[in-house]
Chains A and B, each alone.
Chain A
C-alpha cells in the first residue's frame, strides 16, 4: 500500500513570502498525485492533480506542483502567498487503476497579513 509523507506540519509565513510544501510518497508503480486544500469553514477541495504529461502542474489560485519521479515527490509551490491562502493542505496519492487515495497528514499554513 502506498504511503504519503508531509513534513513541517505547521507553517507560518508573512504575505508575499514564497511557499513550498513537501510531499513524498512510497510506491514503486505508476501513481496519480493530488493536492487538496481545506480553507477555514469550507469543504476540502481539489487544488491540483497530476496523472500524466507535463510534470509541472498548475492549479487554482496560483499554485503549482512538480512531479519528480526519481525523488518520489510532488511538492506544492506558490511564489507569493496571500492571507487568504491560510488553510490546511493535504497531499494524496493513488496507484493507477486504483481509486483508493492515501493522504498525508497535512500542512497547516497560516499567512500573517
Chain B
C-alpha cells in the first residue's frame, strides 16, 4: 500500500525543546516537501528537497531544519528558535519535483507547544 506516512499524529512539547517530525514515503518519489498549515492561512512551504542530500529553504524556514539522507525519508526538526511552532504540519512528495507534478500529501502532524 503506497503512500506517505507521518508520525506522530499529535505531538506536544514544552517551550524551549526541539522536536522532530517524521515523514516517510514508499512512492519512490524524488522530491519531498514540508508545509505548515494554520487556520485560515492555507499552506506555507517550509523546506523542500528535490534529491537525496540536497534541500532548499521555502518561504518560512526560520526556526526549522531538515535532512534528506535517504530517498524515502525527510524529517523536519522544529527548533526552539521557531517563535510560533503550534501548527499542523504536512509532508508531501512528488515524482520528480517538476513544476507540473502533482504533490501527494501525508496525513499531517499536529504540534502543540505548551
Contact = CB atoms under 8 A, between A and B. Distances in A.
A43 B50 contact: no
A58 to B, nearest CB: 15
Interface string A44-66: 11100101000000000000000
B97 A99 contact: yes
B34 to A, nearest CB: 12
Contacts of A9: 40
B90 A44 contact: yes
B42 A103 contact: yes
B105 A97 contact: no
Contact of A104 (B42, B104, B108): B42
A96 B99 contact: yes
A100 interface: yes
A104 B81 CA distance: 27
Interface in B31-75: 31, 35, 40-45, 48, 50, 58-59
A103 B43 contact: yes
A29 B45 CA distance: 21
B106 A43 contact: yes
A51 B102 CA distance: 11
A103 B44 contact: yes
Contact of B48 (A1, A99, A102): A99
Given A96-B99, A100-B58, A105 B42 contact: yes
